[in-house]
Amino acid sequence: MKLSEEMKEWIKDIGLSVVCAMLILTFLKPIIVKQHSMENTLHQNDYLFVSRQAYRLFGEPERGDIIVFSSEMTTETGKNKNLIKRIIGLPGDTVSIFDGVTYINGEALDEPYTKDGYTLGDMDAVTVPEGMLFVMGDNRQNSADSRSALVGMVDQKTVMGKAVFRLFPFSRIGGLE
């Protein structure tokens, strides 16, 4: 029994779609923002694409990158919680916070992306170990991040990727900075 030409076309189209989807998901991971810790940059229910290969193929993490990583915090079901934060300190950097200003290696960090324009609470200088990152949310008054023992420094091995593109809401579609 021969398949009709139309059926062959359908099978070819479906096969091609599956291959394309697999290729896309190899490089991009879709996520939905669930918390408020990255406001005003990201908002709850923003739909993002995370580049899974950003640091494997295109270079090292940089200060200011927004990353998704697996934390030691757990969900209600006992799974490790994925968090989204901004890289502030790289390996070897000394990070401190004084009078609402974040300092990297003794120099004030320009942070126009913070929600309220300052960082609540002072923090003595800490040096970021090799293979680790110091991360903070942009909403500094409402963020569990490297300042907290719940999160602490982030092992680069736990980084799932770099947030690169907001797909939804459509009014804010575009690349992330």
Judge whether 22 and 15 are in contact, CB under 8 Å.
no
d(CA 113, CA 118): 10
Does the annotation mark 85 as catalytic? yes
Does the annotation mark 2 as catalytic? no
As a three-state string, the secondary structure of the chain is CCCCHHHHHHHHHHHHHHHHHHHHHHHEEEEECCCCCCCCCCCCCCEEEEECCHHHHCCCCCCCCEEEEEEEEECCCCCEEEEEEEEEECCCCEEEEECCEEEECCEECCCCCCCCCCCCCCEEEEECCCCEEEEECCCHHHCCCCCCCCCCCEEHHHEEEEEEEEEECHHHCEECC
Catalytic residue among 85, 115, 143, 162: 85
Catalytic residue among 17, 29, 37, 157: 37
The token pair that represents 133 in the structure block: 């990152």
Query: What residues are annotated to the active site?
Result: 37, 85
